[in-house]
Amino acid sequence: MSNYPVYCINLQHRKDRKLHTLNEFSKLNIPVNKVNYPYLTKNKKGGIFGCFDSHMKVWNDFFINYPKQKYCLVLEDDFVATNRSKIIIAKAAKFIDKNYDAIDILMLHNLAIKVNNSINNEFFSNGYGFLSHAYFITRHYIESIILKNKRLPKPNGRHFDFEMSVNKFDKDNMLYTEKIFYTNQNCMKQINSKSDNYVNIFDELFRQDVNKPIQYIVKLSAFAKKNNMLNDEGVKRVAYFVSYLIH
């Protein structure tokens, strides 16, 4: 393991999820005593607010407590390691070291629409997508948000991953960046289960298994882009519109 901080987002009442992460960290050869488990409790407004808030607390902790570290690894407690995870994570750290100024976020999954970029390589590509269960985040990205807005954002009822990579349209969104990269191969999966990040009943019906609809959306979006039905701006506008319909 390289010398960078590792965080795991786990609510205090989800002891079952913490046990799951202990098993997954052993697969990655990451000592559990090296993992930061911040004290996090369930948000009364619901999972979507809690998810957003938990990530912001992790970012803030990293920014304050690791001033000499250039990036950290963040994992949600439903991540699942694959047989390629260790290799790809090691390559991801080297990729960030080499291209630090060009990267804000490096997502450790491949559910994304890829975009041409001069630093794309065999393992990583620029793009936009969904899900935030495993990623590297750089200090300069967090710092840029704080310098521009005087603080990190508060939960607003919109999905955290959507705000980072898709929502370039709402002026109050502090997180949007086009310096997001994704793995070209499957690296980290999520537990194949019902999501608790619901906003309303329609969202609950739509998201019985969070992974499947995301896979469909990515495939459909990539098809539309490949066949010149939509460009990247168009794909994001459609995703933005659909998000507001279901939320």
| Residue 111 near residue 164, CB atoms below 8 Å | no
Instruction: Specify the amino acid at residue 195.
Output: S
Give the pLDDT score at 244: 63
- Distance CA(156)–CA(53), nearest Å, equals 10
Indicate the DSSP class of residue 227. T
Place of tokens 């459609």: 238
Alpha-carbon distance 245 to 247, whole Å?
6
Through-space distance between the first and last CA atoms of the chain, rounded to whole angstroms: 40
Tens-of-pLDDT digits for all 247 residues of the chain?
568 999 999 999 999 999 999 999 999 999 999 999 999 999 888 888 999 999 999 999 999 999 999 999 999 999 999 999 999 999 999 999 999 999 999 999 999 999 999 999 999 999 999 889 999 999 999 999 999 999 999 998 888 999 999 999 999 999 999 999 999 999 999 986 554 544 444 444 444 556 667 777 777 877 878 888 889 888 888 887 776 655 5
> How many angstroms separate the CA atoms of 143 and 171, rounded?
19
Helix and strand numbers (H, E) in the chain are 8, 10
Could you tell me the domains of the chain? 6-194 (3.90.550.10)
Q: Determine the distance from the C-alpha atom of residue 2 to the mean position of all C-alpha atoms in its chain, rounded to a whole number.
A: 20
